[in-house]
Structure 1
Amino acid sequence: MDKIKIHFLGASGTVTGSKFYIETPESNIMVDCGMFQGLKELRQLNWKPLPINTSKINVVLLTHGHLDHTGYLPRLVKEGFGGKIIGTAPTLAITKIILMDSAKIHEEEAEQANAEGYSKHHPALPFYTVKEAENTIDFFQSEPKDKWITISENIRFKFKYNGHIIGATFIELEIFGKLFVFSGDIGRTEDLLLSSPECPKWADYLFIESTYGNKLHPQENVDDLLIELINKTIREKGNLIIPSFAVERLQSLMYTLWSLFKKNKIPNIPIFIDSPMGNNVLSVFERFPDWHKLPIKEYHAMCHHFNIISSYADTWKTIDDPRPKIVIAGSGMVTGGRVLTYLKQLIDEVSTTVLLVGYQAEGTRGRQLLEGAHELKLFGKYHPIKATIKHIESLSAHADQNELLHWINAIKNIPETVFLIHGEPLALDAFRSKIKDVHGWHIHIPKLNEVREFLI
């Protein structure tokens, strides 16, 4: 009797770094290949070679394009991977944008650290370069959703629509007749721009994200909250800074603000979009209209309403602009990107409001702001926080506990094992108890680098 092994190389006991390596007698497969973010001890794991022979991986399957699911790909190639990297067409378009932007940031941060001498490493090196990101893109191969794709004689997979961000899917991976279902990140049942996620009907082994496994999203009136903050910004002649993920959150925010303006609920306050990656993602919405709900005519009208910043020089012009304004800039967890420049200059002003609009992983600057930090370290120096910090949790692109349960309720069989992944310890344990109470299924919470064997 043959066996397969699954290596939990990321998103195990933590939210980020999603990587699952499956060894089989016919082919070796990796599902997602993300970077760790957040806590320093997690980020340091990115620099360690994987505890597997990467040259033996035949194929990488991507659930979606976010950095914590794709950001390790250039390192994988550098370590010897030479197979195919497969995702839906919009997922690969997003992944290309994210990898190129990430590589540029890695290079710029290393250069700045060396110039200003605030790195402990001499010299500071980029995690990967633009050239290495470009080399990775050569391995991309797109496949449609809802179609079985053969990997080998007894192994095939199918992408299924999952909401969350454009192009995102869950993966049904059939290995010698057993169905392994990898949820990726599950979207919301009610989303401004995307349809509701589809649900799996069968799973012998289920690998499900648990980001909000212990929470329900609050029933907030997002429009009213934004109107209130915008009016406050105008009254105080201040700045409303919104750190935003470039994929999906940025586009949702743009659409919400555009809709409020069209309905005369907010004045024509200057709104600056300072996210080169986000600007590129907008073009993906234009290229793949079947993957979202935003009509193209509305898309163009919306884009013309905003001040789209492309150059870093314009970032500084925006900071110096004395008018009350809204700035939406990456990154969403305040881990990098141009939002750091705005915060460095403006976070010590009482007229500044920082609005957090998504999940803030443990160890990120966004989580520090959320938890009431009195200072923030930016570019090697501490800056006092005098700005007002606000949070709109209901704009999250992740399903909450009820939506996660709804997603698995469609499964008709009893899975042999449900693996809870992509969550912090409290969320994982709460979701384990909830599934146990509702379904009575066998649940396992894998540890990082754990290996499980399955007989087939």
Structure 2
Amino acid sequence: MVHIRFLGAARTVTGSKFHVSVGDFAVMVDCGMFQGLKELREQNWRPLSVDVPAVSYILLTHGHLDHVGYLPRMLKQGFKGRVLGTAPTLAITRIILRDSAKIHEEEAEKANKEGYSKHHPALPFYTLEEAEAVMERFDSVPLDEWQELHDDVAVKWTYNGHILGATYLILKIGGKQYVFSGDIGRPDDLLLRDPEYPKWADYLFMESTYGDRTHPEEDVENTLITLAQETIRERGTLLIPSFAVERLQMLMLILWRLYQKNRIPGIPIFIDSPMGTDVLSVFREYKAWHRIPDADLKAMCRHMTLVSSYRDTWKTIDDPRPKIVVAGSGMLSGGRILTYLTRTLEKKNTTILLVGYQAEGTRGRKLLDGEGRIRIFGKEYDVEARVVHLESLSAHADRNELLTWLGNIRNIPEKVFLIHGEQAAMEGLKAGIEEEYGWSVILPSLEETVSLV
């Protein structure tokens, strides 16, 4: 009997954590933190409802915060095992955890100094020291090779697109295969190879982020050209909140190639994401994992201003020239983009270009939904800036691409569990799978445990 407890990403997009136990042996698949809605974020502060010291391994599908951001908290709860993932996933996870820890520390310090937190004192979710401690437990694994974890328990990681290092993984327990999709990438991606497909799944745990819709056909280049021209004409700022991994590098490449082809003018471009800049070094190290030619990687970095210090963030804000600023975080849940917003959100010559998924409860979703006031660092700001959305730059497969990903599975899975999606997305994908394949599909709830034979 295999018991699986859904500790996150159940009827929500964030907080991916799945506890898998057989007998007295236990692992976790992913270890992410919740983002977005307050009631979800509050879950981050509660101890997990499982025996953490009994977890022998944490198996990572990829390095995004909603899949790895809870790792330092595991140590506080007694985790003594190992964290396994591909080499680029672990490299990205190190960058993300360090950056996240610094942000947690800075925000706690700012909240205490300015007195806008309800907690006295406000504490960081975890510290840099705690992040460094969990990294000592990292072990890299190769692609497509079974790793024995325990008696009759093995695991294998397979390339899945999405971001650098991302995989789906197969847990083989007692001869049955439990497939965890992680986040599934898109075909014909500018940066990455097409995702590979599973051939067999007795039980499938599948993301459903865009399960109810397809990505629109958008002319990304022409949109960027138009926005750059309008920004120059209005002497304003084009702000692009961006995820530091994959999306930021994709934007840099697109903007560089447009400039190279004389399709956008020489408008100053600032990349203000220390984490994203660090991720560029991972792209340089793991060239076999992506498609960016080395010459383009170097040229686009030379062409743009890579902002490092927070002092340079303020210099960029004070720069009177029309400009493009790409900064983290992608859902406006933290990072330096918030500082830019405090100075530009109430200006009509600011354009905010949203280029990724915006989870419920995040500032990005509120802007997308047309809210007129946004709260940042304890203060309310009127939204005078124009908000534009480009969905087609998403690193997540859409409904049709998710259904295609299932197409090479040769057997009929006993059960398909849809995870990592909001209610409408899960229900949409459930209907699509039942109609196209006739498989049994379940939408698990947060903290639910299923027992499988």
Q: Shorter-chain TM-score category? A: over 0.9
Is 1:376 aligned to residue 374 of structure 2? yes
- Residues 382-412 of structure 1 deviation map (CA, whole Å, 9 limit, x = unaligned): 0111111000000000000000001001100
Is 1:29 aligned to residue 24 of structure 2? no
The one-letter amino acid of 1:195's match is R
Is 1:365 aligned to residue 357 of structure 2? no
Match of 2:396 in 1: 398
| Kept after mapping to 2: 8 A contact 1:88/1:145 | yes
Partner Cα separation in structure 2 for residue 146 and residue 57 of structure 1? 24
SS of the equivalent of 1:394 reads: coil
SS of the equivalent of 1:234 reads: helix
The one-letter amino acid of 1:96's match is R
The one-letter amino acid of 1:411's match is I
Correspondences of 1:127-146 after superposition (within 5 Å): 127-146=125-144
Which of 196, 210, 213 is the aligned partner of 2:211?
213
Match of 1:175 in 2: 173
- Residues 313-347 of structure 1 deviation map (CA, whole Å, 9 limit, x = unaligned): 00000000000000000000000000000000011
CA deviation after TM superposition for structure 1 residue 26, in Å: 5.9
The one-letter amino acid of 2:211's match is G
Partner Cα separation in structure 1 for residue 341 and residue 24 of structure 2? 51
Which of 218, 225, 228 is the aligned partner of 1:227?
225
Q: List structure 1 runs of 4+ shifted beyond 6 angstroms.
A: none
Which of 314, 317, 321 is the aligned partner of 2:315?
317
The one-letter amino acid of 2:131's match is A
Which of 60, 63, 66 is the aligned partner of 2:64?
66
| Kept after mapping to 2: 8 A contact 1:347/1:385 | yes
SS of the equivalent of 2:213 reads: coil
CA deviation after TM superposition for structure 1 residue 125, in Å: 0.3
Match of 1:15 in 2: 13
- Residues 149-191 of structure 1 deviation map (CA, whole Å, 9 limit, x = unaligned): 1111201111000000000000011001000000000001121
Under a length normalisation based on structure 2, what TM-score does the superposition of the two structures give? Answer: 0.99
| Kept after mapping to 1: 8 A contact 2:244/2:273 | yes
Match of 1:155 in 2: 153
The one-letter amino acid of 2:447's match is N
SS of the equivalent of 1:99 reads: helix
The one-letter amino acid of 1:209's match is E
CA deviation after TM superposition for structure 1 residue 298, in Å: 1.7
SS of the equivalent of 2:271 reads: strand
Which of 34, 39, 42 is the aligned partner of 1:41?
39
RMSD value over aligned CA atoms? 0.6
SS of the equivalent of 1:46 reads: helix
| Kept after mapping to 2: 8 A contact 1:27/1:151 | no
The one-letter amino acid of 1:274's match is D
The one-letter amino acid of 2:12's match is T
| Kept after mapping to 1: 8 A contact 2:5/2:18 | yes
Match of 1:354 in 2: 352
Match of 2:275 in 1: 277
Partner Cα separation in structure 1 for residue 151 and residue 71 of structure 2? 26
- Residues 234-257 of structure 1 deviation map (CA, whole Å, 9 limit, x = unaligned): 000000000000000000000000
Match of 1:204 in 2: 202
Match of 1:435 in 2: 433
Under a length normalisation based on structure 1, what TM-score does the superposition of the two structures give? Answer: 0.99
Partner Cα separation in structure 2 for residue 53 and residue 209 of structure 1? 25
Correspondences of 1:229-308 after superposition (within 5 Å): 229-308=227-306
CA deviation after TM superposition for structure 1 residue 300, in Å: 0.8
CA deviation after TM superposition for structure 1 residue 25, in Å: 2.4
Partner Cα separation in structure 1 for residue 107 and residue 30 of structure 2? 25
The one-letter amino acid of 1:360's match is Q
SS of the equivalent of 1:58 reads: strand
- Residues 271-329 of structure 1 deviation map (CA, whole Å, 9 limit, x = unaligned): 00000100100000001000000111221111111100000000000000000000000
SS of the equivalent of 2:45 reads: coil
Match of 1:50 in 2: 48
Work out the percentage of aligned pairs sharing the same amino acid: 60
| Kept after mapping to 1: 8 A contact 2:253/2:296 | no
**How many aligned positions are there?**
453
Partner Cα separation in structure 1 for residue 313 and residue 72 of structure 2? 29
Partner Cα separation in structure 1 for residue 307 and residue 293 of structure 2? 24
Tell me, which stretches of 5 or more residues in structure 1 are unaligned?
none
Partner Cα separation in structure 2 for residue 291 and residue 281 of structure 1? 13
